[in-house]
Amino acid sequence: MESKRQQKFAGVIQEDLAAIFQREGMSFLPNTLVTITKVRVTPDLALARVFLSFFNSPNPQLAVQTIKTHSSEIRYKLGARIKDQVRVIPQLEFFLDDTNEYVERMDKIFERISHEDRQKDEE
């Protein structure tokens, strides 16, 4: 369970990273919209796990790897934005948020079940 402090800090990081990706994300991933879906921060605020979702990206795994290669540059830009609010700029870990894919997969399963039920009713 995250403390209020962790939640507040995660919100600050999420907002600032969103602004960084919105303004400068095109240099990392051209023609791709990066969305920060969730940020989780460790209790000591030294590590932030950032979950990303990509729109208009043919290969999301490659997009995450690209972001990971630029993580030190992204952390530097984040530090420039939040340096007056924190003592230590957290290390950033980036992960692919596959929630949308999971939801789509579940929708297809439910649709198939519903379709099978309708066929049984018709027989």
Asked if residue 69 belongs to a domain, the reply is: yes
Q: What is the pLDDT of residues 8-50, one digit of tens each?
A: 999 999 999 999 999 888 888 888 888 999 999 999 999 999 9
Q: Which of 17, 15, 24, 26 is nearest to 93 (CA)?
A: 17
Only one residue has tokens 């692919």, namely 96
Q: Which of 54, 45, 60, 47 is nearest to 93 (CA)?
A: 47
Q: What is the pLDDT of residues 64-101, one digit of tens each?
A: 999 999 999 999 999 999 999 888 999 999 999 887 77
Asked if residue 81 belongs to a domain, the reply is: yes
- What total number of domains does the chain contain? 1
CATH number, domain at 36?
Answer: 3.30.300.20
Asked if residue 114 belongs to a domain, the reply is: no
Asked if residue 120 belongs to a domain, the reply is: no
CA 69 to chain centre: 16
Asked if residue 109 belongs to a domain, the reply is: no
Domain that holds residue 37: 4-98
